[in-house]
Structure formats: structure tokens, C-alpha cells
Structure 1
Amino acid sequence: MPKGGPIVEKERLEWVDVARGFAIFGIFMVNAPAFNAPFFLYGGGEEYFSSEMSGMIRAIIDIFFQASFYTLFALMFGFGLQMMKDRLVAKGVSYEPVLQRRMFILFLFGIVHAFLIWHGDILLTYSILGMILLLFMKGKNRTLLRSAFGMLAAVTLPFTLLLYAARDFNAAVMNREAIQAAMTSYGEGTLGEIWAQNLTDWWYTNSPGNWPFLIMSMLPMMLFGMYIARKRWLHEPENHRNEMWKWWVVTGVLFLVFKVGPYFFGRPMWFELAQDNIGGSASAVFYVLSITMLYRNSVRRAIRPLRWVGRMSLTNYILQSVVSFIAFYSVGFGFYGEVSPLQSTIFVLIVFLLQVVISRWWLKKYRYGPVEWLWRRGTYKTDI
């Protein structure tokens, strides 16, 4: 009976690993401020860190990072699943049970990560969306695109119009009670109190009412990733140069209009959903196309080290959370609520640079990162 197996070294697309590494960096840049203070969830960051420098850093993160990197990671997730399916089919292996096991193991990783380490976990969400994604595996290319664009439009257009209609009633809300609870639990609490607060914060963003927005915002990017894998843009970029340039220009324009544009008219609250769903999605495609095309010239040398992090993306994602848990929560160094946006950015840069070095060292000795090894062994039910 034929057996499936993980990708081997000669089959790897380096620029795809670089894109994954870049996504891990961007996710960390957004996650770190949410890990070291409650303001991302409950508002009030402008009041606690009101300096011009803090405002500038928040604006940079909002334009170039917020909603751009979890979408990029979702795109790469869909791309990777489609690649796995294609390899399994080529070997005569039934892909459904293999991919279902893969999603189940990711679900288990997500349970541990979401409830014991970081309420902002994406692994649990990706595992559930991944199971939905399997329903599209036999769909035609046009079905993927129509479904993706349809979901983005269905959640973005009507709700943006509703928010615009109610714009006079929209106001930034600062939940002081929730902020104080988080400050006390994470900054001074026991491990049990930290976990209890973590569950509260996880439920705040993952309650049933939020799931339609999560599905219709993230699943489209996974479908775009599947489509790009089927069209083989990233496999054979030289053969799809004109099409990639066209989409690079289109997504670049949408990126500027929806992510930078709002800052020219006061960045109104009613526009935030469109800014994230349209601007964030466009920027994710723009980033991956930029990396792929840059890999064809001298810039390659500057971005190539990111491939080490990308090859161990799951390990590095969880490692970032573990390091942040130790750095910011009371059971570790206890810097929760005391880290400015500038300090948070410096923290991210230092930790990520160390991850590049550690990932390179690890992959010189082993084929996979430790979490990737567990994931692959469970997926293929064999030593690898």
C-alpha cells in the first residue's frame, strides 16, 4: 500500500519558507503588545502610553502589521494543505484521512497553547477552519475564488455600511474594569489566576457570536492560498511573471488605499472592518508576491535567513508565546502592563533575531523543528 510522507529537502521552495518566516515575525509584532498589556482587547492604550513615539509605533504596526500577517499565515496554511493533497494524490494515497489527522493534531496543539499559554492563539482556529477547508479540496478553481471573494464581501460590505450609518454613535470604548482585572491577574496573580484570566480573554474573542466573522475573514485567505498553489505561481514564478506582476500592482494599490488611506481622514472607527478585511487581505498577497519576486535578485541575500524560522514556523510561533509568558506574566519576570510600544518592538526584534540564529543551528542538526516533528509523526503515523 502506498504511503504518504512529509516534504523532502529537494522539494522545498525557499521563498515560501521565507514568507512563512516573515509571517512569524509579523504575527509576533502584533501579538507582543497584546501579550504584555490588555489594551489591544479592552482599549485605552492611548491613555496609558500617550507619547508621540508610542502613537507613531502604533500607527506603523496598524498599517504594516495588523491584519496583514495572520492573513498571510492563513494564506500559507491553505497553500501548504493544497501542496500536501497534491503530493498524496500523486503517490496514490487517500488524502482525506491524512489531512484530517493533521488538523486533529493541530487542534490538540491549539488547546494547550490557547488555554495554558496565550489567549490569542491561532492554532485552534486554524485547525477548525482547516476541517472546513477540506470540503473545498475537490472544488474547481473558480469555486475557490468565488467563495473567497463572496465571503469577504458578505462580511465586509454590509457591516461597514451599518457602521457608517451609526458613525455618530460610534466611540472608542475603554473597559476599565476588564483592564484592571487583566492587570491584576497577569501582573500579580498565581498561575491558576493567570489561566483563569486567559480563559476569560480567549472567550472574549472566540465567543460564538464572533465565529462568523472569524470564518468569513480567515477562510477566504486559506482559499486564496489553495488557488495560488493550484496555479503554481510560487512553484514556477518565472512562468507566471506577468500574472504575478498584475496581482502585485492590484494588491499593492488596495494595500495603500485601505491601510494607509484611513489616516488621511482621521482613521474613523466605522472603516476599521474594511481596513482589516480588504487592506489586510490585500497586503498579505502583496507581501508573498513581493518576497517571491525579490528572491530573483540581489535582495535574496538579505531576506534568505528568514527561511530558517519559516521551516520551523510552528515551533517558533509557540516559542514566542512561551518567551512572552515568562517575560511578562507574574510567574516570570512580571513586566505586564509596564512595557511601552517602543520597548515591545525592541523585545520583538531581539527575540526574533535569536530565533533566526537558533533555528539555523537546530536545522543544521535535525531535519525538522521539534513541534514539526511531532506534527508530522502524528500526521503520517510513522517515524520521520
Structure 2
Amino acid sequence: MMQVSQEDESVIPTPQLQPLDKHKRVDALDILRGLALVGILLMNIEWFNRAIISLGAHDTTLTGIDHAVGWLIRCFVEGKFYKLFALIFGMGFAVMLLRAKEVGRPFGAWFIRRMVVLLIIGLAHMIFLWGGDILHDYAIAGLLLLAWVSYKKTEDPKAYLKLALMWLMIPIFIVSVGASIFGMFFSEPKYQEMWQNELDIFTVVEQQLENNVEIIPPTNKITEDLDPISAETSSVMPSDEEIREITIADTLEQRKELLADIAEEDAAFMKGNYWEATKYRFSFTGFMLMFAPVMSLVVLMPIFILGFWLVVTEKITKHQEHHSFFKVLTRVGLGIGIPLNIASILIIQHPATAISGVLQGVGQMIFYVGQYLLSAGYLGLVICALNKQKWQKFFSAFSPMGQMALTNYLMHSVILTSIFYGYAGGQYGEISRAPQMLIVLAIIVAQIFLSKWWLNRYRFGPMEWLWRSLTYKKMQTMKL
């Protein structure tokens, strides 16, 4: 997830390579990386204080300023900044590949080692610190990106852009086709009937959960009627009432299982010692890894290719010459992305959405599209600001933080687990959303100053040094 600094080229034991001059560094990438860390921390801090198993679910207990903060974070931060990081990953990959070609250095084996080391770091992070790690997803997607670059049949940058955009449109196309079919075949009476049925089932399930009613399994008669084998010898089809009972029982069981999973995670991080928490994280790692291939292939890969395209077209490396492009990106991304995100969150958090599967699907799809547009708008906004002298000094403060992105990302987990988890500060579930923002502010300010202090004395952050040393299979020079 974190990009290699261009100064890396000076430490590779190859006589062809020379230290890069300061002006050759792509400062925009470091600044973007530092700003993305701020957004990621704003998003992640909630999930050090709540069960990750319910990731993405809105906390309905929030009120007042806590609700306002939670709503704003979900609307303007959630899902936007890890996508921005993915874009930066693709940019960094392209920079490293092009630099390797310039000096005639083999790239594939070196980059594979780099991703394998990142995967190991990510898994260690997920097991020993925090279960919400995303480094392993970036490592897997990075290997896929290398495979794509190795076998791509064209050098035309326009083809990269078309491929990435088409790739991103696949989920939208599939959902749109399904929604169109639904809209064509569900008339108003059918829709009313479906809504009433969903409402009835939701009401019964909520009442039974409130009363802590035990799940009543379906009767043998209903089970036999639904069994395809017994159906061969029985012409009796289950009635609507019997199907309703089965649906209620299944829904109630699923809800209770989710509540039990949340309670198990809460107990591991509220009451357990470090060993108990680590055992839970180890078991949770298997659950998270099931989603890694889909996350890497469906979400990250097309964004990586977009980042690759931004570099090979020199739009990011010479962004001053492409100001009009980023200006349009800002206007379109923010102009459309902000209304879409606001609309989607209003739909998703409406009480009716908890009942209606259709509303859930509509809200989530609008949110999905809005995330990409707003991420693009943020990118354009920052680059446009960097093209103006008065903003350069402000944003340059985030550059050292971005150069030490891996170290700073992992330090977020060290700091926040020390505050929230039961084996340390014991504040799990105790600090609400608004005060969490003060913690974020303190961490970001500290990391801005500490990163600058560190890089005035050393060439890399501590974890960046470890990553490079393992990648190059040689201890790297640390001091300037």
C-alpha cells in the first residue's frame, strides 16, 4: 500500500544506479499519501472502538454531536481514502517500473519480493495488532498488477484508461441489469405485497429479539415439502404462511449469530488479555482473507491501473502542465460526488432501508459510485491546490508523513489499541465519535512533526527501512 521513495534507487547495489536529485522526487505522491493517511485514520478509529465484524454498519445509538460527526465521516470519508491510496499505489508502481527501465534493471523478481514482504507485514499486523489491516489486500493486488503489466498487449495509455473504467463499471452494469429486470416485472401491487411481507417479517424478528425468544426450527412437514428429494413423492407445496415461518426463523437465526459474533469480539478486546485478543485476531484473519481476492481483483486492480495511467501520461509527474485536467476532475468529482454521497447516506440510514432489500441495494449502489467520484474530486482538488503557491507550503507539511506512510499507518494501530483494548488502556466502547476526532488530531499533528524530525536524520522510516532491507536482501544504510 505504501510507495517506495525514489531515493531507493541510490541504495540498490548496482553500478548503473546513482542517487536521484531532490527535484526528481514526485512530491505530489508523498503529499497525497500523507493526506490519505489522515482520511484512513478518521475512518479506522471507529473500528478500534467497535466490532470489526460489523464493518460498514451505521451505529444507530449515536445522538447529538456524536451522530453528526459519525454522519459526516461516513458521507465524506468512508471508502474514499483507501481508494485514493490504491490510486497512489498504481502511481508508485509506474514510477518504480519506469525508473527500472531507465537504468536497465530487472523489475519483476524485485517487485515480487517487495509484495511478499508487504503481505507478511500485513498478516502480522492483522494477527498481532489490528484485524482491519488492508496491507495484505494491496500486496495481493500488487502481484496481480505486475502480472497485468507483464502480459499487456499494448503500450497505448488510452487503452489503460478504457480498461480501468470498464473494469470499474462491471459491478454497476450487473446491478443495473438486475434492477432493470426487477423494475420491469414488479408492478405496484407486487411491490406493495413484497414491502408488506418484509415489514411483517422485520417486525416479528425485532419483537422476538427484544423478548429473547428461542428460535423455533421449521416443522418436519415444512422441511419435507422444501426438500427436493421428498418433493418427488409429494405434491404438497408449502403455503405462504409456512414459507413466512421459515424466513422468520432463518432471519432470526442470522441476526442472533451476528449479535453473538459481535459479543465475542467485544469480549476479546474488552476483557481479555493480549494473548486472548491475539487468538481472536488469528481466527478472524481467516474470515478476512476470504474477501481478499475479491477486494484485490474487483476493487483495487482497476484503481491501480488508473494510477498507472496517470504516471505514464505524465499527468501526475508533470501536474503543472495538466492543470485543466485536474480542474475538470475536481469539478466533476466534487460536483457529482458530494450530492450522490449525501443522497446515498440519507437512504442507507433511513429506517425503511433496514426492512427493504431494494432500498438497501439502491443506497449501496449510489454510495459505491459516489465514493469513486468523491475520491477523484479530492485528488483533483489537492493537485489544483499544489499548483498554487499559497497552498504549497500548507500541503508540503504532509510530505514527510507520506514518506513514512507504512510506519505511520502501523503506529496508528499501536496507539489506538493501546488506548482502546482491554489489555492496555481499556477504553473500548467508552470514547464516542466526537472525542475520537480529538485523538485523530493529536496523532496527525504528532506524526507530522515526528516524521519531519526523523527524516532530517534518517533516510527512511523504521518500517520502510525493514521493508527495503528485506526486499533488497541487504541491510540498507539508515543514516543520512
After TM superposition, the score normalised by the length of structure 1 is 0.90
Task: Give, in angstroms, the shift of residue 325 of structure 1.
Answer: 1.4
- In the alignment, is residue 89 of structure 1 matched against residue 89 of structure 2? no
**Cross-structure match for 1:180:** 263
- Cα deviation for residue 274 of structure 1 reads 2.6
For the residues of structure 2 that align with 1:62 and 1:121, how far apart are their CA atoms? Answer: 19
For residues 114 and 41 of structure 1, the distance between their equivalents in structure 2, rounded to whole angstroms, comes to: 17
Residue in structure 1 matched with residue 302 of structure 2 by the alignment: 220
Bigger Rg, which one: 2
Cα deviation for residue 309 of structure 1 reads 0.7
Superposed structure 1 runs of 4+ greater than 4 Å apart: 1-8, 42-45, 160-174, 263-268
Equivalent of 2:90, from 60, 74, 78? 78
- The equivalent of 2:48 in structure 1 is 35
2:463 is aligned with 1:371: yes
Q: Write out per-residue CA displacement over residues 39-66 of structure 1, whole angstroms, 9 at most, x where no aligned residue.
A: 772677534x331222211111112110
Aligned partner (choices 120, 125, 128) of residue 132 of structure 2: 120
Q: Distance in 2 between matches of 1:200 and 1:133?
A: 29
- Residue 162 of structure 1: CA displacement? 4.8
**Partner Cα separation in structure 1 for residue 69 and residue 19 of structure 2:** 40
The structure-2 alpha-carbon separation of the partners of 1:307 and 1:162, relative to structure 1 and needing over 3 Å to count, comes to same
CA contact (8 A) 2:141 2:296 kept: no
Whole-Å separation in 1 of the counterparts to 2:69 and 2:179: 27
Moved more, 116-125 or 232-241: 232-241
Q: Which amino acid aligns with 1:342?
A: A
Any unmatched runs of 5+ in structure 1? Answer: none
| Residue 214 to residue 277, structure 1, CA distance change in 2 (3 Å) | farther
SS in 2 for 1:46: coil
Q: Tell me, what secondary structure is at the counterpart of 1:233? A: coil
Q: Deviations over 1:262-320 (max 9, x none)?
A: 24556552234434432222222222221121012212222221112101001100010
Instruction: Measure how far apart 1:130 and its partner are.
Output: 0.2
Tell me the matched-pair count: 382
Say whether the 8 Å CA contact 1:17–1:311 is kept in structure 2: yes
Instruction: Tell me what 2:379 maps to.
Output: 288
C-alpha distance in 1, partners of 2:79/2:132?
13
Distance 1:323 1:5, change over 3 A: farther
1:233-382 equivalences under 5 Å are 233-263=315-345, 265=347, 268-297=359-388, 298-382=390-474
1:160–1:271: 8 Å Cα contact kept in structure 2? no
Could you say which structure has the greater relative contact order, defined with CA pairs below 8 angstroms and 6 or more residues apart? 1
Q: Deviation per CA, 1:169-208, whole angstroms, max 9, x where unpaired? A: 5989683212211111101112222112223444444325
1:241 Cα deviation from its structure 2 partner: 2.0
- Asked whether the 8 Å contact 2:140–2:296 carries over to 1, the reply is no
CA distance in 1, matches of 2:433, 2:53: 12
- Note the C-alpha offset of 1:379: 2.7
> In the aligned structure 2, how far is the partner of 1:99 from the partner of 1:66?
30
CA distance in 2, matches of 1:328, 1:302: 32
Q: Over the residues paired in the alignment, what is the CA RMSD in angstroms?
A: 2.7
* Cα separation, 1, equivalents of 2:467 and 2:18: 12
What is the alpha-carbon distance in structure 2 between the residues aligned to residue 375 and residue 6 of structure 1?
A: 19
The answer as to whether partners of 1:160 and 1:273 remain within 8 angstroms in 2 is: no
Identity across matched positions, percent: 23
| Match 1:12 to one of 4, 15, 25 | 25
Q: Name the counterpart of 2:274.
A: 191
| Residue 161 of structure 2 is aligned to residue 145 of structure 1 | yes
Quote how far apart the aligned CAs of 1:245 are.
2.1
Q: 1:207 aligned to 2:290?
A: yes
Q: Which residue of 1 aligns with 2:142?
A: 130
- After superposition, the C-alpha distances for 1:219-256 in whole angstroms (9 at most, x for unaligned) are 21111111101111121112222222222322223322
| Distance change in 2, residues 1:60/1:381 (3 Å) | same
In structure 2, stretches of 5+ residues that fail to align are 1-13, 183-190, 207-254, 350-358
What amino acid sits opposite 1:106 in the alignment?
A: L
**Residues 35, 8 of structure 1: alpha-carbon distance in 2 compared, 3 angstrom cutoff:** farther
Deviations 1:20-41 (A, max 9, x none): 0011111111111011111772
Q: Cα distance, 1:163 vs. partner?
A: 7.5
1: CA distance, partners of 2:177 / 2:434: 35
SS in 2 for 1:279: helix
2:277 maps to amino acid: I
CA pair 229-336 structure 1, distance change in 2 beyond 3 A: same
Equivalent residue in structure 1 for 2:121, among 100, 106, 109: 109
**Please, which moves more after superposition, 225-234 or 268-277?**
268-277
Tell me: CA distance 1:36–1:352, structure 2 relative to 1, closer, same or farther (3 Å): same
1:8 and 1:285 map into 2 onto residues whose CA distance is 30
Partner SS state of residue 282, structure 1: helix
Q: Which amino acid aligns with 1:85?
A: L
Equivalent residues of 2:138, 2:296 under 8 A apart: no
> CA separation in 1, counterparts of 2:146 and 2:18?
19
Amino acid corresponding to residue 15 of structure 1 in structure 2: A
Cα distance between partner residues in 2 of 1:24 and 1:333: 23
In 2 relative to 1, CA 177–223 (structure 1 residues): closer, same or farther, beyond 3 Å? same
Q: Comparing 142-151 with 158-167, which one deviates more in the overlay?
A: 158-167
The one-letter code matched in structure 1 to 2:368 is N
Q: In structure 2, how many angstroms separate the alpha carbons of the residues matched to 1:108 and 1:287?
A: 31
Secondary structure at 2:460 match in 1 = coil
